Amino acid sequence: MNEKKWHGLERNLFIWHPDINYDACNSCGMCIVTCGSNVFSWNIERNKPSIENPGNCVIGCTTCGKLCPENAITFPEDPKVYVRKIITSYKIFPNVKKELNERLLKFPDHALNGGTKQ
């Protein structure tokens, strides 16, 4: 858990997480129940979400922000611009290639035209 990687890079080199505009948030709970990375917790006294684990947020993910019915969630910058900067500043593709091979070995039905099946 404490040495998270993003395509071979240390996750903690990067700052990427949602911010909550508490004036707009109506405490519906969408963000905490849809996030698959356990970024949010619930502050029972204030009846509002909190950003509990910012380092768990997937770099470039803005799913909670897009789904928030009140538009109460923002991110530091345009995700595509941010991720593009990282991809072009670091050499991640050898690692991506490795991950791709591992994925296709682990899930052979995902390897088409020349995988282990057919």
Tokens of 34: 């849809």
Rounded distance between C-alpha atoms, residue 24 and residue 49, angstroms: 12
Please select the residue that binds other proteins; options are 51, 56, 74, 111, rule is CB under 8 A: 111
87-90: list long-range contacts, CB under 8 Å, 24+ apart: 90/9
Q: For the chain, report the end-to-end CA distance as a whole number of angstroms.
A: 38
5 closest CA partner among 75, 90, 62, 76: 90
Please select the residue that binds other proteins; options are 45, 104, 105, 117, rule is CB under 8 A: 104
**22 sits near other proteins (criterion: CB under 8 A):** no
Q: Which residues from 32-91 bind other proteins, rule CB under 8 A?
A: 32-34, 36, 42, 44, 58, 60-64, 66-69, 79-80, 83-84, 87-88
Q: Which residues sit at the interface with other proteins, rule CB under 8 A? A: 7, 28-30, 32-34, 36, 42, 44, 58, 60-64, 66-69, 79-80, 83-84, 87-88, 93, 96-97, 99-100, 103-104, 106-107, 109-115
